[in-house]
Structure 1
């Protein structure tokens, strides 16, 4: 563990980003409300990788977009570098865009098919001034484009080609290069490898890790593949129905889960057995986020449910240093 990571784990550094009781709701017909993000509070420390995991529809991607103010939030607070950005307008947010960027899941839809890659990567360099507030000269932009190609291990000739001329993994490298163009501090990666072949996934994850080590980046890494999360994350936040139900160091959460939902997710990871792979299915159906169950939001699927679970919603509380769980009856040994 690096000194920076040690500071992250012991709380000796100030958060790069902090969210407090964050909520994002959508008004639906007939007076119904969908709670996509439902009262989340957490921090992202400098130099760490916070993995957001959970089943599809749990609110991971919505939370990631809210963090970067790509969508407005309903209530709560977002602090970036100590500054409240919750209600900033687009003009006030524009200078901050240089320090926080996103890599999206769909590598092809993220790139304009009518423009060459060089033009796409140069656009943020032309739109945003340099550190001295001046427009970048053409030579400086060209030099930066060459640096970006080297960072993501693509040839300079790729700058003259179009998105359809690349494989999925190459396109994701281009999206990563674009996210890094302005040297951000924070990168939110929204399922960046889920649409790629397994062998390509490993290459892109290794690229993320290499870039973090070289550039001192901080990531919020959204994923549903626990193997990917285990490889890249410093800490893990497990989400269920719009809320964080477990939060802690990656090894602690994935090897010693305290919440029954986290335990079910780890048990569902396919394991090699004689004759093939076996996965333990997670039982039950996810309740509708429009009509969330009273009490613990997981109690309808929990094998350890008790009466208190049906009546009282648990809050995050420590089960060991740096490890919190929202469960009335944490699993033994957690």
Structure 2
């Protein structure tokens, strides 16, 4: 896949720290640097609590960051106020994990989808007429595979998969360039997951969308992503093209995750068991943040934190002793 040189979204040394009681701090995002190219689908994966959802919210400035830089379309949005961010909001949207909680149960679907079209002006700065809004709502229903009659119904009248289609339609309403999808299929049945994943892929091909697809299921990410970023305890520990990362993982944590895919093991006999629990982000281990669970850990791993470095073309890993393969 050939991508343009200039990223649509670039984050540099991003940190998000929550201040807790008794002077403690929780580092949800700990020095992440990533670029997302136009038309790309970047998969962001890791266990629950690794910081991937927080990172996704930070990318869109739905959550303020503690330090670092966020560039969207070449503009620094890191410290922009809401008035300055407002013109950019239509171009960057989010699809949330809980399809039910994301929809107001007291309002019809048509009203929910029409709201952003009423709040934001069109490209020429004009308010949209009722006719223009009605036409757009029918377009959105067609895009996500729902009948126009759905516009007159309420959220509770739909299945989980249908509600997620409605959430996707709402994210598409203002023709965004970037969509961050925060575990959008994790609460759905497996067969419905496949339908929604295929919908994301079809929309990308049809509309030229750029995605950050947050997930904990590598099987889903393998199906849909161009590149994968693997997070652990708030940091990216491996980054590269999907086939390279999942078929030839360089970080022991990624190798352990691929072993959990419920199908023939990716990576063959190099898969390792993932033992123990994720340490608390309030008291992260010194050195490599994965060394407490890594069967390959050595003295250096316990004292020196590894940084992302090239393993092979287009593939980086934060490991002192990366797993190498032919």
1:154 and 2:146 aligned? yes
Distance 2:128 2:79 in 1: 30
Aligned equivalent of 1:204 = 196
CA distance in 2, matches of 1:330, 1:323: 12
Cα distance in 2 between the residues matched to 1:301 and 1:108: 36
- Give yes or no for contact 1:268–1:280 (8 Å, CA) kept in 2: no
Q: State the 4+ residue runs in structure 1 displaced beyond 6 angstroms.
A: none
- After superposition, give the CA deviation of every residue in 1:203-247 in whole Å (9 maximum; x if it has no partner): 000000000000000000000111100001000000000000000
Give the counterpart of 1:15 among 4, 7, 14: 7
Instruction: Supply the distance in 2 between the matched residues of 1:61 and 1:99 (Cα, whole angstroms).
Output: 19
Deviations 1:37-95 (A, max 9, x none): 00000100000000000000000000000000001000000000000000011111111
- 2:100 maps to 108
Match of 1:67 in 2: 59
The yes-or-no answer on 1:30 pairing with 2:22 is yes
Alignment match of 1:213 (pick from 205, 217, 221): 205
Aligned to 2:73: 81
- Aligned with residue 131 of structure 1, among 119, 123, 138: 123
Please state how far the C-alpha of 1:270 moved relative to its aligned partner. 2.3
Partner of 1:163 in structure 2? Answer: 155
User: What TM-score results when the alignment is normalised by the length of structure 2?
Assistant: 0.97
2:5 aligns to what SS in structure 1?
coil
* Equivalent-residue separation in structure 2 for 1:16 and 1:255 (angstroms): 27
* 3-state SS, counterpart of residue 290 of structure 1: helix
Contiguous gaps of at least 5 residues in structure 1: 274-278
- Give the corresponding residue for 1:332: 324
**Mapping of residues 160-199 of structure 1, within 5 Å:** 160-199=152-191
Runs of 5+ consecutive residues of structure 2 not aligned to the other structure: 266-270
Secondary structure of the residue that 2:188 maps to in structure 1? coil
Secondary structure of the residue that 2:221 maps to in structure 1? Answer: helix
Q: How far 1:268 moved relative to its partner?
A: 1.6
CA–CA distance in structure 2, aligned partners of residues 256 and 271 of structure 1: 16
Q: Which residue number in structure 1 is paired with residue 232 of structure 2?
A: 240
Check conservation: 1:317, 1:324, Cα contact below 8 A.
yes
Tell whether 2:252 aligns with 1:263. Answer: no
Conservation of the 8 A alpha-carbon contact between 1:13 and 1:46: no
Q: Distance in 2 between matches of 1:51 and 1:272?
A: 21
After TM superposition, give the deviation of residue 13 of structure 1 in Å.
Answer: 2.1
The answer to whether 1:250 aligns with 2:242 is yes
Alignment partner, residue 268 of structure 2: none
The CA RMSD over aligned residues, in Å, is: 1.3
| Contact 2:307/2:318 (8 A) holds in 1 | yes
Give the drift of 1:280. Answer: 7.5
SS of the aligned residue for 2:193 comes to helix
1:52–1:221: 8 Å Cα contact kept in structure 2? yes
Structure 2 match to 1:290 = 282
Structure 1 pair 272–48 and aligned structure 2 pair: CA distance change class (3 A): closer
Q: Does the CA-based 8 Å contact 2:252-2:272 persist in structure 1?
A: no
Name the structure 1 match of 2:303.
Answer: 311
Q: Which SS does the other structure have where 2:53 is aligned?
A: helix
